Structure 1
Amino acid sequence: MTGNDVVLALVVVTALGFDFTNGFHDTGNAMATSIVTGALPPRVAVGVSAVLNLVGAFLSTAVAATIASGLVQSQDVTLTVVMAGLTGSILWNLTTWYVGIPSSSSHALIGGVVGATMAAAGASAVKWQGLVAKVIVPAALSPFIAGSVAALGTYLVYRVTREVSEGPRTQGFRSGQVGSACMVSLAHGTNDAQKTMGVITLALIASGTLSTGAKAPDWVIGSCATAIALGTYIGGWRVIRALGKGLVEIEPPQGMASESASAAVILSSTDFGYSLSTTHVATGSILGSGVGKKGAVVRWNIARRMVVAWVLTLPAAALVGALAYWVADGIGGTGGVVTIFAVLVLASIAFFVASRHPAVTPENVNAAWTGSVIPDPEPVPATDEVAP
């Protein structure tokens, strides 16, 4: 096995590791509201989400094509660049997961790859028009679109069912949430799993295994689908709590409206090949469901924290990706890639060890949502803003 083969193998393993972190980081996008409202038990919810993420990953490759050839000049990308970009994205994912902030795994990946590419070949190696059109504009608009749809949907479902008694209405919408949550999971697979497929395809092109413009091979699609499904099943309990409990006090009608809005926006963007942040969409939908219900408490202070993380994600991941490239390039050859791989493994272990003290687990998460075990992400002041 040549040094190039070793580096390619490490890049593929690291990319699948990112896909795994994407799965547990973004589980909350699909299942947070369903778990909080009692529509689905936690383990059942993440199990169903895992299966549908797996299925969704096979339904489209449009986003994978955007990542592989639409953001950076393929001829300027080396295996070291791809490895450095993955390092930036994974470290940012782990950091935001640890503190329970639903940042965008997608933008972390894109930021890492763009930063490493710029460090290696300069700003001219980035396809800025594609980056703006396929990433930045959708990132800016999607939370507002999803939030508006969810707000309107929430208003309408409460309006239409205002004569229905509380018990039957709650039970009916809990049942409806099962279907809407499944659609979000399926949509998540069609969009997020594609990004890692695109990165691995980019690495295969850089190594000379595939020609420029080639599509993701079947084994890449299958391995990425499996990795994100496994990550989803492990469950991102910290992020689930922040999304499901921290932003809005969710009731089943709101949950169904927000999930339906998320699924519609994500599936539409996938059809156009937009590398959308499902985290942004889900958060916008949940906030919209709070706005659409008269008298609902919306914790805008926590939302502002999330927005700060969103704004920082692309540049922060790009900076780490660039630093990782400079370290690997300074060491040179296979040794440079092996070094940043080792650093990444050690950092990942450190985050997981630290996360155990304390950790949110499936066994205590239901009690946590009733307020009896784990405190809220931060105290909620008595003067919380209330949606009109």
Structure 2
Amino acid sequence: MTQEQGDPRHLETLDRDLARFSTLELATSYVARPMVGPGISLVFILLAGISAMVFFGQATNTLIVVIAACLGAYMALNIGANDVANNMGPAVGANALSMGGAIAIAVVFESAGALIAGGDVVSTIAKGIIAPDSMETASVFIWAMMAALLSAALWVNVATWVGAPVSTTHSVVGGVMGAGIAAAGFSAVNWQTMGGIAASWVISPVLGGVIAAAFLWLIKSRIIYTPDKIAAARTWVPVLVGIMAGAFSAYLALKGLKKIIDVDMATALLIGAVIGVVVWLVMIPVIRKQSHGLENRNKSLKVLFGIPLVVSAALLSFAHGANDVANAVAPLAAIVQASQTNNFTDAVSIPFWVMVIGAFGISFGLFLFGPKLIRMVGGQITKLNPMRAYCVALSAAITVIVASWLGLPVSSTHIAVGGVFGVGFFREWDAERRIRKARQAMPERTTYTPEERQRRKLVRRSHFTTIIAAWVITVPAAATLSAVLFWLINTTIN
């Protein structure tokens, strides 16, 4: 070793150089981290295009199908990033699931729902919004579906970026409507269907919020505000879990499993009632054993709602995958069929490889970009605990059943977020009611100033206004963007 190398000053210089390299590596990894998600997404989109090339075979329209497959994969990624948060957000916000656990459960059950029971509503989206026979040629129909797919994906991407959970169903519907109007005029649109969808803007969140608030009132009045909370929980938690089991059984029989077995409303309700009673009876000794030794306080109650909440989130994900995969693959399936047969008026059949693109895309989108919206839905609108989150999940299943019985189209996004709002606003009302009762008992108590009242609001008004605004403009925005894209595509091709 030379004298210079043994010099302490030389060692200090070496340490500083190593520290700079370490800082540089850390900075490089920090800068590169935001690019990981888009990079993996781009690879998935390219693989979807290659898959389309392999499965579709060599034909004159192969390039069109490859482009459509890439757009379908892009849309599926955005559905996973935005829509799935509605099912997992409450469970994560209530600390019943970790972010990693929520994503793992959602990936498995979303994919299972899409592949096992998906595709039931594909024809409605592909052919129910516009009349296919109003299109001049198969090429015009293909360009319209392509414009609809791209516009919906772009809109959901923007909504996810700003942190607004929007309805991907409404985005696709708006895209199909806008392209249809641009291609064949306003007469091509089924305005009765569009009127029902517009009505669901109000019906879905209000119904979801009211049902969630009603169950939270039941829990508070029958369990939380009683002298012996544990004894009350032993009576009511099995009932609530039985209601959940019955609701989800009817929900899945009615909405999620039509591809396997077709049941009417009466049969679905009968299935739900039987399973609900069985689960209620099974849960009585389970809850009694689980509650043994728990202290008589609210924190102890959270333990009893944890597992039912996780199960409800998994079932919601399965049903969501079964229903909402159509938002990604309906236009793609229509393009594939029109390209293969030049027939664009018959019912749409879905190739298995198309369903795989939708299922995997939703899973990748959730894994890569879902945490942002999961955190927002689960904790930034209002504070959730397992009991409140359970009410949100339960309201989602019951609202779909009620809406199906009434023949009303609903949005799973609007129901879930409406349930969160309903729970939050009920908490505000309940807090105000208790303050008034306390003030009547103690008139000398100081009243709250307007500033203090505003600070005590339990629902963040900024998120409320942002989400409502995003809901209102989703269909018009997607429709306008789709019409512009169709015009650009049609002009470029012709």
TM range (shorter): 0.7 to 0.9
- Which residue of structure 1 lines up, in the alignment, with residue 207 of structure 2? 145
- Which residue of structure 1 lines up, in the alignment, with residue 43 of structure 2? none
- Which residue of structure 1 lines up, in the alignment, with residue 329 of structure 2? 197
Deviation sequence 1:128-165 (CA, Å, 0-9, x none): 112223x2223321111111110001111122222322
- TM-aligned CA distance change 1:258 to 1:181, over 3 Å: same
Shift of residue 273, structure 1, vs aligned partner = 9.2
- TM-aligned CA distance change 1:269 to 1:201, over 3 Å: farther
Q: Which has the larger radius of gyration?
A: 2
Residues 383 and 458 in structure 2, CA contact (< 8 A), matched pair in contact too: yes
Q: Distance in 2 between matches of 1:285 and 1:224?
A: 27
RMSD across aligned positions (CA): 2.3
For the residue of structure 2 that corresponds to 1:182, the secondary structure is helix
- Which residue of structure 2 lines up, in the alignment, with residue 227 of structure 1? 361
For the residue of structure 1 that corresponds to 2:83, the secondary structure is helix
Q: Distance in 1 between matches of 2:459 and 2:207?
A: 18
Task: Tell me if 1:285 matches 2:348.
Answer: no
* Superposition TM-score, scaled by structure 2 size: 0.63
Residues 90 and 389 in structure 2, CA contact (< 8 A), matched pair in contact too: yes
Deviation sequence 1:327-351 (CA, Å, 0-9, x none): 1111116xxxxxxxxxxxxxxxxxx
Residues 74 and 202 in structure 1, CA contact (< 8 A), matched pair in contact too: no
Residues 72 and 357 in structure 2, CA contact (< 8 A), matched pair in contact too: no
Shift of residue 47, structure 1, vs aligned partner = 1.1
Going by fraction, where is helix more abundant, 1 or 2? 2
Task: Tell me if 1:105 matches 2:168.
Answer: yes
Shift of residue 38, structure 1, vs aligned partner = 0.9
For the residue of structure 2 that corresponds to 1:62, the secondary structure is coil
Deviation sequence 1:248-278 (CA, Å, 0-9, x none): 1112110011011113334666899976422
Shift of residue 218, structure 1, vs aligned partner = 3.2
- TM-aligned CA distance change 1:204 to 1:228, over 3 Å: same
For the residue of structure 2 that corresponds to 1:213, the secondary structure is coil
Q: Distance in 2 between matches of 1:249 and 1:186?
A: 26
Task: Tell me if 1:216 matches 2:279.
Answer: no
- Residue identity opposite 1:318 in structure 2: A
Q: Distance in 2 between matches of 1:273 and 1:222?
A: 30
Q: Aligned to 2:123, which of 54, 61, 65?
A: 65
- Which residue of structure 2 lines up, in the alignment, with residue 123 of structure 1? 186
The equivalences for 1:8-19 within 5 A come to 8-19=65-76
Residues 81 and 116 in structure 1, CA contact (< 8 A), matched pair in contact too: yes
The equivalences for 1:1-388 within 5 A come to 1-57=58-114, 58-75=116-133, 76=135, 78-133=141-196, 135-162=197-224, 163-164=228-229, 165-209=297-341, 212-266=346-400, 276-293=410-427, 294-295=430-431, 297-332=458-493
- Residue identity opposite 2:143 in structure 1: T
- TM-aligned CA distance change 1:24 to 1:197, over 3 Å: same
Q: Distance in 2 between matches of 1:89 and 1:194?
A: 13
- Which residue of structure 2 lines up, in the alignment, with residue 367 of structure 1? none
Residues 34 and 255 in structure 1, CA contact (< 8 A), matched pair in contact too: yes
- Single out whichever of 263-272 and 209-218 deviates more from structure 2: 263-272
Residues 334 and 348 in structure 2, CA contact (< 8 A), matched pair in contact too: no
Deviation sequence 1:159-179 (CA, Å, 0-9, x none): 222232222201212222111
Q: Distance in 2 between matches of 1:12 and 1:281?
A: 30
- TM-aligned CA distance change 1:236 to 1:131, over 3 Å: same
Deviation sequence 1:98-130 (CA, Å, 0-9, x none): 111112222111111211121111111111112
- Single out whichever of 108-117 and 188-197 deviates more from structure 2: 188-197
- Residue identity opposite 2:63 in structure 1: V
Give the total of aligned pairs: 332
Residues 65 and 198 in structure 1, CA contact (< 8 A), matched pair in contact too: yes
Unaligned residue ranges in structure 1 (runs of 5+): 334-388
- TM-aligned CA distance change 1:166 to 1:37, over 3 Å: same
* Superposition TM-score, scaled by structure 1 size: 0.79
Residues 180 and 263 in structure 1, CA contact (< 8 A), matched pair in contact too: no
Residues 111 and 316 in structure 1, CA contact (< 8 A), matched pair in contact too: yes
Shift of residue 235, structure 1, vs aligned partner = 4.2
Q: Distance in 2 between matches of 1:274 and 1:24?
A: 26
Q: Distance in 2 between matches of 1:273 and 1:3?
A: 43
Q: Distance in 2 between matches of 1:269 and 1:157?
A: 24
Residues 187 and 266 in structure 1, CA contact (< 8 A), matched pair in contact too: no
Residues 248 and 298 in structure 1, CA contact (< 8 A), matched pair in contact too: yes
- TM-aligned CA distance change 1:273 to 1:332, over 3 Å: farther
Residues 95 and 385 in structure 2, CA contact (< 8 A), matched pair in contact too: no
Residues 88 and 313 in structure 2, CA contact (< 8 A), matched pair in contact too: yes
For the residue of structure 1 that corresponds to 2:84, the secondary structure is helix
- Residue identity opposite 1:184 in structure 2: L
Deviation sequence 1:83-107 (CA, Å, 0-9, x none): 1111211111111111111122221
Residues 151 and 292 in structure 1, CA contact (< 8 A), matched pair in contact too: yes
Q: Distance in 1 between matches of 2:65 and 2:93?
A: 42
Q: Distance in 2 between matches of 1:74 and 1:208?
A: 16
Unaligned residue ranges in structure 2 (runs of 5+): 1-57, 230-296, 432-456
Deviation sequence 1:158-216 (CA, Å, 0-9, x none): 22222322222012122221112112212211221122232223213432536611332
Q: Distance in 2 between matches of 1:47 and 1:256?
A: 20
Residues 183 and 263 in structure 1, CA contact (< 8 A), matched pair in contact too: no
Q: Distance in 1 between matches of 2:405 and 2:318?
A: 13
Residues 129 and 176 in structure 2, CA contact (< 8 A), matched pair in contact too: no
- TM-aligned CA distance change 1:201 to 1:112, over 3 Å: same
Residues 115 and 322 in structure 1, CA contact (< 8 A), matched pair in contact too: yes
